[in-house]
Amino acid sequence: MVQIRGGVTAAKGFTASGVHVGIRKNKDKKDLALVLSEKPCSAAAVYTTNQVKGQPLVVTSEHLADGKAQAIIVNSGNANTCTGEQGVAAARRMAALVAEKLPVKASDVVVASTGVIGQQLDVSVIEAGMDQLVAGLSKTGNIDAREAIMTTDTVKKEVTIQIEVGDTPVIIGAMAKGSGMIHPNMATMLGFITTDCAISSAMLQKALSAVVKKTFNRVSVDGDTSTNDMVVILANGMAGNAMIDAEGPEYRDFYEGLAWLSTQLARMIARDGEGATKLIECTVEGASDEEKAEQLAKGVICSSLVKTAIFGADANWGRILCALGYTRKDFDPNKVDVAFESASGYIEVCKAGVPLPFNEEKAKKILSYQEVTIYVSLNEGEAQATCWGCDLTYEYVRINGDYRT
């Protein structure tokens, strides 16, 4: 596995673009992106579990029912959610606009939106900007596309790798957005993944669904599950590897690459949480099973009191045990060990559920770094899981206090 550059356009046959069309008031902010495959693709997606779903998800799920797609169109600045049939019509029109400008069927277009909920989307500005959007399609268009999908994100989120599937080089590239309204219930983000691997739609869905559970579903920023979350992957087969249509060594090669890439994106999203100053990684080990470890790790990263303690570089580990205790009751708190680690060092603060003497200044220095790991050992088994979150700061309240206005 080699990390390379290029994002969603790195794989053979993919181009992208991003422009400002006027959905967002700030003319310096791009707000419309397009990703195109030279050939039709196997496709798979995972969607939010929120009962209130964005209208684009309705259209995209219909279009991907046959496991095929060739293009993705995404707007930022307006979620097109809670907009009724007018919103569904707007999403369909976005797909139709792509089909009018390119040799792609409307039913093979993935549609996604992100931004303010409860406002009708003005498709006329998208229509007026389509010529510019299509004209901008290129192999370097990933740079504009990754910017156009951002809302409150402060950094662009892009990962690209080259792997070997059997003996064939295969590229997987991705871009994502996500900063607020992030909580583990599917993906709580928008993620777009492209690959030139030859893989069936069924195996692509199998791989994506499994990967999401162990990566994007283990991220939380603020406990709010978005209405528009989706992760979509397109595979056009242009790498020339033997078609993956069943489990085996080649499927495992692809799965491992996809899992690594998705883990990096998940960490980026947590690190870029609205107002965040630190990435919090929590690993629960020594559990009786992985599900238990995952739920307890989520409980820790979702705790507002843990998040604020990390913000203040306060080694208040009692808040961690508190979060474990209300998340699940089927463990022995008298066996739990807790430790903190960062680039500054490692320190144990709790052993068998009781305090250890530790140097407060050293602990504060460790917790002052931008990436902090919390280790929790249950000492009851061999399973473990890692989840990712961020600290909770004054800035989070400021950003969301006037998000719409």
Tell me: the pLDDT tens digits for 7-16?
A: 999 999 999 9
Domain end call among 231, 254, 271 = 271
On whether both 93 and 219 belong to a single domain, the answer is yes
CATH number at residue 335: 3.10.20.340
> Are residues 250 and 285 both part of a single domain?
no
Q: Say whether pLDDT at 375 is over 50.
A: yes
H-helix or E-strand containing 115? strand 109-116
> Do 66 and 119 belong to one domain?
yes
Helix (H) or strand (E) holding 97: helix 84-101
User: Among 91, 78, 389, which Cα is nearest to 218's?
Assistant: 389
- Per the CB < 8 A criterion, the answer to whether 203 and 186 are in contact is no
171 DSSP 8-state letter: E
Say if residue 218 is in the same domain as residue 303. Answer: no
- 182 pLDDT band (50/70/90 cuts)? low
User: pLDDT band at residue 396, thresholds of 50, 70 and 90?
Assistant: confident
Q: Which of 279, 301, 299 is CA-nearest to residue 291? A: 299
Query: Do 285 and 267 fall into the same domain?
Result: no
Verify that 156 and 285 share a domain, yes or no: no
Q: What are the residue numbers of the active site?
A: 188
Q: 33: helix, coil or strand?
A: strand
CB 23 within 8 Å of CB 124: no
Residue from 181, 331, 399, 343 nearest 269 by CA: 181
Whether 306 and 232 map to the same domain: the answer is no
Total domains, the chain: 2
Last residue of a domain, one of 271, 288, 311: 271
Task: List the domain range (segments joined by +) for residue 88.
Answer: 2-271
Q: pLDDT-based confidence at 153, cuts 50/70/90? A: confident
In terms of domains, do 166 and 231 share one?
Answer: yes
